[in-house]
Structure 1
Amino acid sequence: MPALHISTDKAALDVAMIHQFLSERSTWAIGIPLVTVQRAIDNSLCFGAYLDGRQVGFARVTTDRATFAYLADVFVLEAQRGKGVSKEMMTAVMAHPELQGLRRFMLATSDAHSLYAGYGFTPPARPASLMERYFPDIYAN
């Protein structure tokens, strides 16, 4: 595999590709509008994974950079899966200097538990203390 490059440079992100993946191929954001994807990028710490200058993966972290972070929208394009791209992105996320010393770092996943467990994520210690407002079909309208 050619050299993989992970960057937090938002100017390098292929927003059209990110939107296309999230809105058409993800399991969690089908139908998400481009304006919503752009606003999410603008207000998050974003990680792009690049092979030969072409973006092949994405992850974003919503955080106050002091006490809390939420990892979201993690994906690797289908053609690059199984080649370690997600692990390289997660290594970069977990090593980022602005994400150190957080009291809580959360995420939600339906199918990548073993990936995230390798970086110290576990089921909530106190699930009864967590609450949410969840609208899974919000972009369907």
Structure 2
Amino acid sequence: MDGFEVSCDAGRLDVGLVHRFLSQESAWARGIPRELVERAMANSLCFGGYLDGNQVAFARVITDRATFANMVDVFVLPALRGRGYSKRLMESVLAHPDLQGLRRFTLATGDAHGLYAQFGFTPPSRPATLMERYYPDVYQRC
């Protein structure tokens, strides 16, 4: 193949890379402190995407591993986009044994609807039932 692999081994994750991307390049977590990234990763099911042993992609799933999951912090480094790595990352996430038979699997995206639709994600069937507390600039106040 092309040397790309996905792993859930927490020991392989490059926390510095994940933090740099989220805090400096992402549209959703700019300014997030490293300590929060570390805590979030420690309490989630994390997937690293690796090219020739170097981490180039990431996805984090917040889940009870029984009924619910929410996928967040998904990225492929910009220089490596368009090569199918996001699809392979998604395939690995959705194939994970702890994420089978869930009643609800959610995510939020601003620009990747087409990718997620390929994997069965749709707009909420009952959006009037969903509510949120959203503080988009919370990391700017840390």
| Residue deviations 1:8-47 (CA, integer Å, cap 9, x gap) | 0011000001000000000000000000000010000000
| Residue deviations 1:93-124 (CA, integer Å, cap 9, x gap) | 01111000000000000000000000000000
Code of the aligned partner of 1:84: G
Aligned counterpart, 1:83: 83
Aligned counterpart, 1:73: 73
Aligned counterpart, 1:19: 19
Q: Which runs of 5+ in 2 are unaligned?
A: none
Q: After superposition, where does 1:37-116 map in structure 2 within 5 Å? A: 37-116=37-116
Moved over 6 A (4+): none
3-state SS in 2 of match to 1:79: helix
1:137 Cα deviation from its structure 2 partner = 0.4
3-state SS in 1 of match to 2:114: helix
Code of the aligned partner of 1:72: V
3-state SS in 1 of match to 2:82: coil
Normalising by structure 1, we get a TM-score of 0.99
Q: Percent identity?
A: 64
Counterpart CA distance in 1 for 2:80 and 2:40 is: 24
Aligned counterpart, 1:118: 118
Normalising by structure 2, we get a TM-score of 0.98
Counterpart CA distance in 1 for 2:2 and 2:90 is: 19
Aligned counterpart, 1:127: 127
Counterpart CA distance in 2 for 1:123 and 1:2 is: 33
CA RMSD of aligned residues (A): 0.8
Counterpart CA distance in 1 for 2:13 and 2:91 is: 19
1:2 Cα deviation from its structure 2 partner = 2.6
1:79 Cα deviation from its structure 2 partner = 1.0
Counterpart CA distance in 1 for 2:101 and 2:52 is: 33
State the aligned residue count: 141
Counterpart CA distance in 2 for 1:5 and 1:123 is: 29
Code of the aligned partner of 2:89: M
